[in-house]
Amino acid sequence: MATATETKNLRTPIVCVMGHVDHGKTSLLDKIRGTAVVNKEAGAITQHIGATEVPLSTIRSLCGNLMSGTVVIPGLLFIDTPGHHAFTTLRSRGGALADLAVLVVDITEGFQPQTIEAIKILKQFKTPFVVAANKIDRIQGWTPTKNGPFILSYNKQPDYVKTAIETRTYELVGKLSDLGFSSDRYDRVRDFTRNVGIVPISAKTGEGIPDLLMVLIGLAQRFLEENLRMTVTGPGVGTVLEVKEERGLGFTIDTILYDGVIKVGDTVVIGGKDKPIVTKIRALLKPAPNREIRVEERFDRVPKLTAAAGVKILAPGLENAVAGSPLRVAKEDSVEAIIKDVEGELEKARIVTDET
Ligand code: GDP
């Protein structure tokens, strides 16, 4: 268990939402945001460039009395570009950018080709994940309890509905077993380091989302206490999500910062089309909440950011930057060494991509 001082150094885990097309990835993220708004917790959710941060206080309010015990992580940062592409192209040093994943499966359709593909990726990167068995509201006879915990809703259903849920959940258990994972419905899992938890949810009614968030927090704590220690004062390290030309600004990169600190004026090394780009940060931009969409006002400028965060970076020479490549802050005397590191990381990423 982390001590009180260690706890301060735990950064927000990065969560990727994966699954077959139309199984509900986007709806799930929208529902988490939407429910928090209804619960008057909107102010607590922070919109980043390319990500949404759900702080622990919001998760606690969504989970109600489901959640107990000490939680040492500050919240969860969901990557807003769900899907495999994001996962396979976005890397951190030595692995996938995401610390955790939610694999969304439509419970009425079961595993589909992209579900299997996602599991193979998660296995390759040894990423802890939870299965969200979505669309339980579409099981015939299901009576919803809006935004409630799954177990509460489940206990109110007639036996034939319970049986339908059980049967479909065990179909998922069977498929996961074929792919080398032992799993069970989350409330029957004792050790999430050995078994994958399956949480039945509905992104439409919100049922099961409290349970899902609770399992994610539990997973994050069990698996990641070691990895999440961040060097709060160290140089920033990130991954480029997208390269975009913004009207009135020029070329920018949307970046997920997963370690350290980044400041305006910092020298950064970024993966480029032919060779790494070395440039100086002109501005760090965050989405401006609730403003009119006027180009100059769409973003707020911030002097400095700490991981984990999503940020739009403005700097000269970004037109050749490559999405999915690393970004590293370099001190004057370390630029050459960092260029070599970035070249090495790009090379490794190429090899892994070729293998997938
Ligand atoms: P994605 O492609 O995985 O991001 O899937 P979407 O979130 O776009 O969802 C695909 C379709 O399924 C949309 O029409 C959603 O409204 C619908 N959908 C998603 N989740 C649920 C759910 O829990 N229940 C029901 N009934 N429909 C859902």
Pocket test for ligand 1, best of 16, 21, 27, 114 (most atoms within 8 A of CB): 27
Tens digit of each residue's pLDDT (9 = 90 or more) over 331-356: 988 999 999 999 988 887 665 555 54
Task: Enter the pTM of the model.
Answer: 0.90
CA distance 308 to 236: 10
Least Cα distance to 80 among 16, 157, 163 occurs for 16
- Work out the average pLDDT over 255-261: 92
Q: Which atom of ligand 1 is nearest to the CA of 19?
A: 3
Distinct helix (H) and strand (E) counts, the chain:
9, 20
Instruction: Establish whether residue 23 lines the binding site of ligand 1, counting it when its CB lies within 6 angstroms of any ligand atom.
Output: yes
Ligand 1, atom 6, residue with closest C-alpha: 24
In this prediction, residue 2 has a pLDDT band, given cuts at 50, 70 and 90, of: very low
Is residue 4 pLDDT above 70, yes or no?
Answer: no
Instruction: Establish whether residue 24 lines the binding site of ligand 1, counting it when its CB lies within 6 angstroms of any ligand atom.
Output: yes
CA distance 100 to 93: 15
Inter-CA distances, 343 with 139, 149, 277, 328, 349, Å: 51, 47, 10, 12, 10
Instruction: Establish whether residue 203 lines the binding site of ligand 1, counting it when its CB lies within 6 angstroms of any ligand atom.
Output: yes
* Least confident stretch, 99-113, 178-192, 225-239, 271-285: 225-239
Tens digit of each residue's pLDDT (9 = 90 or more) over 272-285: 998 999 999 999 99
Instruction: Establish whether residue 30 lines the binding site of ligand 1, counting it when its CB lies within 6 angstroms of any ligand atom.
Output: no
- Work out the average pLDDT over 305-316: 94
How many angstroms separate the first and last alpha carbons of the chain?
A: 36
More confidently predicted of 99 and 133: 133
- Work out the average pLDDT over 62-77: 80
More confidently predicted of 55 and 250: 250
Is residue 253 pLDDT above 90, yes or no?
Answer: yes
Distance 23 CA to ligand 1 centre (A): 6
Ligand 1, atom 24, residue with closest C-alpha: 135
Ligand 1, atom 9, residue with closest C-alpha: 24
CA distance 69 to 123: 30
Ligand 1, atom 11, residue with closest C-alpha: 22
Which segments are annotated as binding site for GTP?
19-26, 80-84, 134-137
Radius of gyration of the chain, Cα coordinates, nearest whole angstrom = 21
Instruction: Establish whether residue 328 lines the binding site of ligand 1, counting it when its CB lies within 6 angstroms of any ligand atom.
Output: no
Structure confidence at residue 38 (pLDDT): 61
Beta strands (DSSP E) in 271-338 are: 277-280, 283-287, 299-302, 304-306, 309-314, 326-330
Least Cα distance to 208 among 269, 263, 283, 130 occurs for 130
Instruction: Establish whether residue 204 lines the binding site of ligand 1, counting it when its CB lies within 6 angstroms of any ligand atom.
Output: yes
Is residue 5 pLDDT above 50, yes or no?
Answer: no
Tell me the pLDDT of the chain averaged across its residues: 87
Q: Which atom of ligand 1 is nearest to the CA of 134?
A: 23
Is residue 313 pLDDT above 90, yes or no?
Answer: yes
In this structure, what token pair is assigned to residue 170? Answer: 């065990």
- DSSP secondary structure letters along 47-91: EETTEEEEEHHHHHHHHGGG--S---S-EEEEESS-SHHHHHH-E
More confidently predicted of 222 and 264: 264
Is residue 322 pLDDT above 80, yes or no?
Answer: yes
In this prediction, residue 267 has a pLDDT band, given cuts at 50, 70 and 90, of: very high
- Work out the average pLDDT over 106-110: 98
Instruction: Establish whether residue 81 lines the binding site of ligand 1, counting it when its CB lies within 6 angstroms of any ligand atom.
Output: no
Distance 26 CA to ligand 1 centre (A): 7
Least Cα distance to 93 among 221, 231, 211, 222 occurs for 231
- Work out the average pLDDT over 266-270: 97
Is residue 291 pLDDT above 70, yes or no?
Answer: no
- Work out the average pLDDT over 254-262: 93
Pocket test for ligand 1, best of 22, 102, 142 (most atoms within 8 A of CB): 22
Tens digit of each residue's pLDDT (9 = 90 or more) over 48-63: 888 999 888 888 888 8
Q: Which atom of ligand 1 is nearest to the CA of 202?
A: 23
Is residue 3 pLDDT above 50, yes or no?
Answer: no
In this structure, what token pair is assigned to residue 229? Answer: 């220690």
Asked if this assembly's ipTM is beyond 0.85, the reply is yes
Structure confidence at residue 293 (pLDDT): 46
